[in-house]
Chain A
Amino acid sequence: MAKAFQKVYTKITKITKATCSLKAQGVTNEELASVDGRAAQVVKIEGDEVILQVFGGTEGIPTNAEVIFMGKAPTLKVGDQLIGRFFNAYGEPIDGRPQPEGKEVEIGGPSVNPVRREQPSELLATGIAGIDLNNTLVTGQKIPFFTDPDQPYNEVMALVALHAQSDKIILGGMGMTNDDYLYFKNTFSNAGVLDRIVSFINTTEDPSVERLLIPDMALTAAEHFAVEKHEKVLVLLSDMTNYADALSIVSNRMDQIPSKDSMPGSLYSDLAKIYEKAVQFPDGGSITIIAVTTLSGGDITHAVPDNTGYITEGQLYLRRDTDTGKVIIDPFRSLSRLKQLVIGKKTREDHPQVMNAAVRLYADASNARTKLENGFDLTEYDERTLAFAKDYARDLLAIDVSLDTTEMLNVAWKLFAKYFSPEEVNIKAVFVEKYWPK
């Protein structure tokens, strides 16, 4: 498989679980190589000794294995032929169809100059009220779902992908189960949306270190559509905790001193490099990133969610509502930092007030529930808040509700009128006048 001008090496001097070393000349940093047919990348150069990280692991690699240097960092051929296709971490097709042609670009390219960015201001509707009503997203935003592994986060991601008003959707799957991969594939093809989807998938069956390439692959494709075609691109990354775990494996094998939770000291920068690819360009192109960070036992002080929270523009929590048994977007802990840029401006004027009033009443219900659990008597108002909370969770917070934002506001007004008086809802008089159901 070596081309004429490529030099072949066959003397490996050192092999560890993830790396191998050899003497070689003229090798460049981060260059791609093939070791016994497996993809590898230069991670360290010491004089004429080169250390290669072998993505697929080094099991069975002999010291006389064939090592070929490719003379370039990992690349992806970008273009329209990517559309509707499924690839692995190296950008090779896994859908049985031929390798697409296109412009070859290095993945993990440079950052956008901050002065060339535009302040995000365009609403990204998902149809899910728990998001659009309470945690409105904006194009160019980056936001993760913080979720326990038992929540149906991939289903939610697929829902968002189907509803979101975007030109392209790039799915990056890291350590995704084969079942979830097929779920995405079937959902997308059944919905007939494959013509705007590109997927890069690393499943649990693939070597874990390979998944380090997935976000860069997905975002390189996204940059092509956002920069060259001025399209609105939505990137879905699931699950970033698996990505971080792969980082910790590599840093461990490179003898780096771990910091908090066995994660590498560079975790913040590593995650930021990915999330900061989210951008709004002045010419209309944008990259929005929605990711999944699975939590262990709901612990958000763990290094992965903690560092993520400092990088992303808010976070969405998934949980099951005890009253209705439905999966909802938790209105208390979820937050979209950029919603202020669009609510009441790009959506109906009453949006901010309705949103706050509903959450406040839902909080009152939560207090009432605590009272009940502690054996105190409920007031008549408490009873009404509990009934409201149930309807609110079922008709608005549940992830299977699909409405446009104006309809969501109307539903909220209907629920207010059903259980409360205008004074109890405490919304500006002009809006009550205009929107209170008569």
Chain B
Amino acid sequence: MATKGIVTGIVSNLVTVEVDGPVSQNEICYIIADNARLMSEVIKVIGKNAYVQVFESTRSLKAGDHVEFVNHMLEVTLGPGMLSRNYDGLQNDLDKMEGVFLKRGDYTYPLDTEKLWEFTPLVTSNTTVIAGDWIGEVVENHQKLKIMVPFAFEGKYTVKEIVAKGEYNIQHEIAVLADSAGKEHKINMIQKWPVKKAVTAYKEKPRPFKLLETGYRPLDTVNPIVEGGTGFIPGPFGTGKTVLQHNIAKQTKADIVIIAACGERANEVVEIFAEYPHLVDPHTGRKLSERTIIIANTSNMPVAAREASVYTAMAIAEFYRAMGLKVLLMADSTSRWAQALREMSNRLEELPGPDAFPMDLSAIIANFYGRAGYVKLNNGETGSITFIGTVSPAGGNLKEPVTENTKKVARCFYALEQERADKKRYPAINVLDSYSKYLEYPEFQEYIAEYISPDWVHKVHNIKSRMAKGKEIAEQINILGDDGVPLDYHQIFWKSELIDFVILQQDGFDEVDANTPMPRQHYMLDLVINICNIHFIFEHFNDVGTYFRKLINIAKQMNFAHFESDDFNRYKKQLDTALEEHPKRLDD
């Protein structure tokens, strides 16, 4: 019999429940209010008292209200039909809810039970299978999705029966599997999974190495992220975090994109709702919304569901990874999630860590980032979850606990800088503070040498050190004045400006410049490095700026023109002429 309980205490969204039977940590229960059942999660147990966080407003609850426990943790419902959907943090389908306002206790089913799917079996009777193995296939939005042995199945199973190719709904029994004891389990296309547990139905998790193409030069060229990699974007407000994230979500060469809007502005989600059905995936030509799932827990939605939202998003990502797909998961912003943890820990009267965050914050963040990754499945195929989170550091100070703890685990760091944003140098990523650890991975270096060119990593380091040198010189010029430094210094400085304007800055709102495919990035990097390698001769420091401004202007026009179009080639010719005409030292 399921455990029941009675409400004995309420403070904000933390409710104390006296229980009449066993409960487990993180078990879900429902508080029976006047006209709704309020979903809650057990977060602490002392004796007969279970402390539960309520995923809804606790207004009008009272001591003595009844509580029913359901004997499982917070789960996602996985199956075909999730693409293009807009869920809340608990995977309720927002579009299925009636009315303008969110009603307390309104839980909607995340999938469509009526729709028929063209199912193709991938196994035959008597095949031995284990959790995560593909037993069938359906097509959703032109993507081949797998129907898998449920992740929760332990040990080996034998396929007893499997339906023939045909149209079935998700609740239709499609196979019967027998476990090692001979007990038979009927399965359909739906499976459930507790969101806080990582799906481990894969063979191994090798080091990731394949470049994930985002179309963004400051990422792909300078600080690349890989399929199955992790990265984070901290930045004060107004530095373009969200625009950057949205653009990455739009352009990245991924099969599935999951966006967790965690405690952010509702209008930003509305922008996605409004635009995605009209935008085109640059890699497949199909609608962007077809590959996207949105998990929206905006800042005015219940705080406890904020924490759940990132886990819901991750569990859904793991589901698609197990199908051998390339998943990009973005969470904006993980700081809001950490703040939700802080609110709860405070109400539980736990001893606080730095900035009143819970002591285990770093472990929670590390665990979560750890669930991303590149995996080899049991059948030899591969899949990946690339995770990029944004962090909203309090006061723009990167020395706060969420940023610091994230920095320990995320392998790519994209530091957005107020100063660059003020100068309208977008994306405002400070190239010197930012890094990608993948550049140092031998696996990545090998891959990129093959994929682009053998000296690629060397070139990337070349422009980075030129940027560092340029910055040093800019500071010296500020102190000593234009004529207080050698003439050559001006040239070094302006070469770093050339790199900045042509490679590091990218107009996310320009149709062409917004997305730069790798061959084009390769071309432009070579072009810029070749210019940097020329030793120009100048008479006066004023001439250096004038000349480089001209070069920058032409090179930028190239960025705005379609690659290798007539316009592009015309600007290239202009650039070549400008380079030829200028006196240089030939010994270089």
A binds B: yes
Q: Which stretch from B94-102, B219-227, B376-384, B510-518 is at the chain A interface?
A: B94-102
* B 311-351 to A, binary, CB cutoff 8 A, 1 in contact else 0: 00000000000000000000000001001101100100000
| Interface of chain B residues 256 through 280 with chain A (CB within 8 A) | 263, 265-267, 269-271, 273-274
The answer on a CB contact under 8 Å between A30 and B101 is no
Q: Report the separation of the CA atoms of residues A45 and B8 in the bound assembly, to the nearest whole angstrom.
A: 8
Q: Report the separation of the CA atoms of residues A397 and B569 in the bound assembly, to the nearest whole angstrom.
A: 44
The answer on a CB contact under 8 Å between B62 and A45 is yes
The answer on a CB contact under 8 Å between A309 and B238 is yes
Asked, given contacts A113-B94, A113-B97, whether A268 binds B339 with beta carbons under 8 Å apart, the answer is yes
The answer on a CB contact under 8 Å between A28 and B342 is no
| Interface of chain B residues 1 through 46 with chain A (CB within 8 A) | 8-11, 16
Residue of B nearest to A111 (CB): B300
The answer on a CB contact under 8 Å between A120 and B267 is yes
B residues in contact with A303, CB < 8 Å: 394-395
Q: Which stretch from A154-162, A255-263, A321-329 is at the chain B interface?
A: A255-263
The answer on a CB contact under 8 Å between B267 and A30 is no
The answer on a CB contact under 8 Å between B299 and A311 is yes
Asked, given contacts A258-B356, A303-B394, A311-B299, whether A112 binds B102 with beta carbons under 8 Å apart, the answer is yes
Q: Is the interface of A mostly helix, strand, loop or mixed?
A: loop
A25 nearest CB across to chain B (Å): 8
Q: Report the separation of the CA atoms of residues A306 and B265 in the bound assembly, to the nearest whole angstrom.
A: 15
- Among A119, A259, A313, the residue within 8 A (CB) of B356 is A259
**Among B100, B336, B396, which residue has the most Cβ atoms of chain A within 10 A?**
B100
* A 104-119 to B, binary, CB cutoff 8 A, 1 in contact else 0: 0010111111111111
The answer on a CB contact under 8 Å between A140 and B267 is yes
Residue of B nearest to A31 (CB): B60
The answer on a CB contact under 8 Å between A29 and B269 is no
**Among A26, A116, A277, A302, which residue has the most Cβ atoms of chain B within 10 A?**
A116
Asked, given contacts A27-B62, A119-B271, A311-B299, whether A112 binds B101 with beta carbons under 8 Å apart, the answer is yes
The answer on a CB contact under 8 Å between B356 and A257 is yes
B484 nearest CB across to chain A (Å): 14
- Interface residue tally for chain A (C-beta within 8 Å): 58
A379 nearest CB across to chain B (Å): 12
Residue of A nearest to B393 (CB): A306
A29 nearest CB across to chain B (Å): 5
The answer on a CB contact under 8 Å between B10 and A44 is yes
Q: Report the separation of the CA atoms of residues A28 and B340 in the bound assembly, to the nearest whole angstrom.
A: 24
| Interface of chain A residues 268 through 320 with chain B (CB within 8 A) | 268-269, 272-273, 276-277, 279, 281, 301-303, 306-307, 309-311, 313-314
Is residue B425 contacting chain A, with contact meaning CB distance below 8 A?
no
| Interface of chain B residues 89 through 117 with chain A (CB within 8 A) | 94-95, 97, 99-104
The answer on a CB contact under 8 Å between A110 and B103 is yes
Residue of B nearest to A255 (CB): B349
- Among A46, A120, A257, A268, the residue within 8 A (CB) of B8 is A46
The answer on a CB contact under 8 Å between B269 and A114 is yes
The answer on a CB contact under 8 Å between B11 and A43 is yes
A71 nearest CB across to chain B (Å): 10
The answer on a CB contact under 8 Å between A301 and B397 is yes
A residues in contact with B396, CB < 8 Å: 301, 306
B residues in contact with A335, CB < 8 Å: 238
Asked, given contacts A29-B59, A265-B339, whether A114 binds B270 with beta carbons under 8 Å apart, the answer is yes
B310 nearest CB across to chain A (Å): 16
Q: Report the separation of the CA atoms of residues A339 and B346 in the bound assembly, to the nearest whole angstrom.
A: 39
A residues in contact with B103, CB < 8 Å: 110
Is residue A407 contacting chain B, with contact meaning CB distance below 8 A?
no
Interface residues on B, range: 35 or more
Is residue A204 contacting chain B, with contact meaning CB distance below 8 A?
no
The answer on a CB contact under 8 Å between B9 and A259 is no
Is residue A404 contacting chain B, with contact meaning CB distance below 8 A?
no
* B 379-401 to A, binary, CB cutoff 8 A, 1 in contact else 0: 00000000000001011110000
Is residue A73 contacting chain B, with contact meaning CB distance below 8 A?
yes
| Interface of chain B residues 221 through 254 with chain A (CB within 8 A) | 236-238
B391 nearest CB across to chain A (Å): 11
B residues in contact with A28, CB < 8 Å: 59-62
A residues in contact with B266, CB < 8 Å: 111-112, 114, 117, 276, 279
| Interface of chain A residues 201 through 257 with chain B (CB within 8 A) | 227, 256-257
B111 nearest CB across to chain A (Å): 17
Is residue B64 contacting chain A, with contact meaning CB distance below 8 A?
yes
Is residue B57 contacting chain A, with contact meaning CB distance below 8 A?
yes
B residues in contact with A227, CB < 8 Å: 100
Is residue A98 contacting chain B, with contact meaning CB distance below 8 A?
no
A residues in contact with B97, CB < 8 Å: 113, 115
- Among A115, A260, A311, the residue within 8 A (CB) of B86 is A115
Asked, given contacts A111-B101, A113-B102, A116-B100, whether A268 binds B299 with beta carbons under 8 Å apart, the answer is yes
The answer on a CB contact under 8 Å between A273 and B355 is no
B residues in contact with A269, CB < 8 Å: 263, 299, 303, 339-340, 343
Asked, given contacts A115-B86, A269-B339, A301-B396, whether A110 binds B104 with beta carbons under 8 Å apart, the answer is yes
Asked, given contacts A257-B352, A309-B238, whether A119 binds B60 with beta carbons under 8 Å apart, the answer is no
Q: Report the separation of the CA atoms of residues A149 and B99 in the bound assembly, to the nearest whole angstrom.
A: 42
The answer on a CB contact under 8 Å between A259 and B342 is yes
Q: Report the separation of the CA atoms of residues A29 and B57 in the bound assembly, to the nearest whole angstrom.
A: 10
B residues in contact with A140, CB < 8 Å: 267
Residue of A nearest to B96 (CB): A115
Q: Report the separation of the CA atoms of residues A48 and B16 in the bound assembly, to the nearest whole angstrom.
A: 13
A270 nearest CB across to chain B (Å): 10
Q: Report the separation of the CA atoms of residues A303 and B237 in the bound assembly, to the nearest whole angstrom.
A: 13
Is residue A125 contacting chain B, with contact meaning CB distance below 8 A?
no
Residue of A nearest to B94 (CB): A115
Residue of A nearest to B273 (CB): A115
Is residue A370 contacting chain B, with contact meaning CB distance below 8 A?
no
B residues in contact with A277, CB < 8 Å: 300
Is residue A375 contacting chain B, with contact meaning CB distance below 8 A?
no
The answer on a CB contact under 8 Å between B9 and A46 is yes
Is residue A338 contacting chain B, with contact meaning CB distance below 8 A?
yes
The answer on a CB contact under 8 Å between B57 and A110 is yes
Residue of A nearest to B261 (CB): A114
- Among A73, A108, A117, A307, the residue within 8 A (CB) of B270 is A117
B residues in contact with A108, CB < 8 Å: 59
Residue of B nearest to A338 (CB): B267
B residues in contact with A73, CB < 8 Å: 59-60
Asked, given contacts A114-B266, A120-B267, whether A266 binds B303 with beta carbons under 8 Å apart, the answer is yes
Is residue B298 contacting chain A, with contact meaning CB distance below 8 A?
yes
Residue of B nearest to A271 (CB): B299
Is residue B301 contacting chain A, with contact meaning CB distance below 8 A?
yes
A residues in contact with B395, CB < 8 Å: 260, 301-303, 306
Q: Report the separation of the CA atoms of residues A117 and B298 in the bound assembly, to the nearest whole angstrom.
A: 12
* A 88-128 to B, binary, CB cutoff 8 A, 1 in contact else 0: 00000000000000000010111111111111100000000
Asked, given contacts A110-B57, A269-B299, whether A118 binds B270 with beta carbons under 8 Å apart, the answer is yes
Residue of A nearest to B18 (CB): A47
Q: Report the separation of the CA atoms of residues A27 and B340 in the bound assembly, to the nearest whole angstrom.
A: 27
Residue of B nearest to A254 (CB): B11
B residues in contact with A48, CB < 8 Å: 63
- Among A110, A279, A307, A314, the residue within 8 A (CB) of B102 is A110
* B 272-309 to A, binary, CB cutoff 8 A, 1 in contact else 0: 01100000000000000000000010111101000000
Q: Report the separation of the CA atoms of residues A332 and B424 in the bound assembly, to the nearest whole angstrom.
A: 11
**Besides the known contacts A45-B11, A113-B102, A273-B300, 18 further A-B residue pairs in the complex with CB atoms under 8 A apart:** A29-B62, A45-B62, A47-B9, A106-B59, A110-B101, A110-B102, A111-B101, A111-B300, A114-B86, A115-B95, A256-B346, A260-B394, A260-B395, A268-B336, A269-B339, A269-B340, A269-B343, A335-B238
- Return 27 A-B CB contacts under 8 Å, by A number: A44-B10, A47-B63, A48-B63, A113-B100, A113-B101, A114-B86, A114-B94, A114-B266, A114-B296, A115-B86, A115-B94, A116-B99, A119-B267, A257-B346, A259-B355, A260-B395, A265-B339, A265-B342, A265-B343, A269-B339, A269-B340, A276-B266, A276-B298, A281-B100, A302-B395, A306-B237, A306-B395
6 residue pairs, one from A and one from B, having the closest CB atoms: A272-B299, A301-B395, A276-B300, A309-B237, A259-B356, A119-B274
